[in-house]
Amino acid sequence: MGAYSGQFITPGRFAGKVAVVTGAAQGIGQKVAERIGAEGGSVVLVDRADIVQDVAKGIQEAAQESGCGGSASSVTADLESFAGAEQAVNAALALHGRVDVLVNNVGGTIWARPFEEYDEEKIEREIRRSLFPTLWSCRAVLPAMLAQESGTIVNVSSVATRGMHRVPYAAAKGGVNALTQSLAMEVAGRGIRVVATAPGGTEAPPRKVKRGPEAESATEKAWHQAIVNQTVESSFLKRYGTLDEQAAPIVFLASDEASYVTGSILPVAGGDLG
């Protein structure tokens, strides 16, 4: 754990950069953090699951072994509250004195079901999970980036803004898209870029910490399978993507190579535009 094993590496691309990656304990967030560390960045991994500490330790050990110049530390925080987002940003500032990159990766469908099958509590939980961590983290990091007159925010949205059996999640990610474009316009003249990727279906190892309960009944399994079928059918490539295929554009947009890109939402879904 910790050594980036993907096929895409640009040595030194993040040398001297401090990157905060949220939702970094597993999945896309972990892969992004590992890659930025392998490319020489100082990465602060944030998650509410304690296993994020192990991921950071692995990245740190891999960086020392390879001599790539990267480093890693972790913060355990619940980003569904502004206090948690401030805690994460303040920890990065206390350790490094600046934040050059923020990758907002927290979110994900908790339940899969037709909209009429969501009750009030489930709808509110979906919105809190997939909109507020990005909203709060953007707000928390903004004062530091404005003070240093530089910074890049990469939000991980979703092409599921047009999809089935997850309307509240789609609404939350639509909010992330609006946040990205509105904030990008607001801060472009102050040295800050704000961009997003919109992943499609992505193959990943079984989650170590579940977002919600597993589908149990035949009906619940059918609702979930309908999402899988629609996701593959909507993709021109007729398949799910890989974690490497999702991490690559995120890391590119976070880097100085994308210095003329802001306000954009890049679909990464095999041709599905969401």
253 part of a folded domain: yes
274 part of a folded domain: no
Question: Could you count the other beta carbons within 10 Å of the beta carbon of residue 50?
Answer: 11
Q: Which residue has the tokens 């913060």?
A: 75
Whole-number pLDDT of residue 8: 77
CB 31 within 8 Å of CB 39: no
43 part of a folded domain: yes
Give the CA-trace dihedral at 33, 39, 44, 49, to 10 degrees.
Answer: 20
pLDDT single digits (tens) 165-208: 999 999 999 999 999 999 999 999 999 999 999 999 999 988 77
Annotated catalytic, 260? no
8 part of a folded domain: no
Task: Report the domain count for the chain.
Answer: 1
- Active-site residue (options: 4, 169, 240, 260): 169
Q: Is the model's pLDDT at 2 over the cut of 60?
A: no
Q: Which residue has the tokens 């803004």?
A: 161
114 part of a folded domain: yes
224 part of a folded domain: yes
Q: For residue 16, what pLDDT band results from cuts at 50, 70 and 90?
A: very high
**Sheet strand arrangement including 192-199:** 71-76, 42-47, 18-22, 101-104, 151-156, 192-199, 265-268
Q: Which residue has the tokens 């992004």?
A: 32
Whole-number mean pLDDT of the chain?
Answer: 95
pLDDT single digits (tens) 214-264: 778 999 999 999 999 999 999 999 999 999 999 999 999 999 999 999 999
Question: Could you count the other beta carbons within 10 Å of the beta carbon of residue 90?
Answer: 14
Q: Strand, coil or helix: what is 142?
A: helix
CATH of the domain at 112: 3.40.50.720
Structural domain containing residue 121? 18-268
46 part of a folded domain: yes
pLDDT single digits (tens) 116-137: 999 999 999 999 999 999 999 9
Q: Is the model's pLDDT at 7 over the cut of 80?
A: no
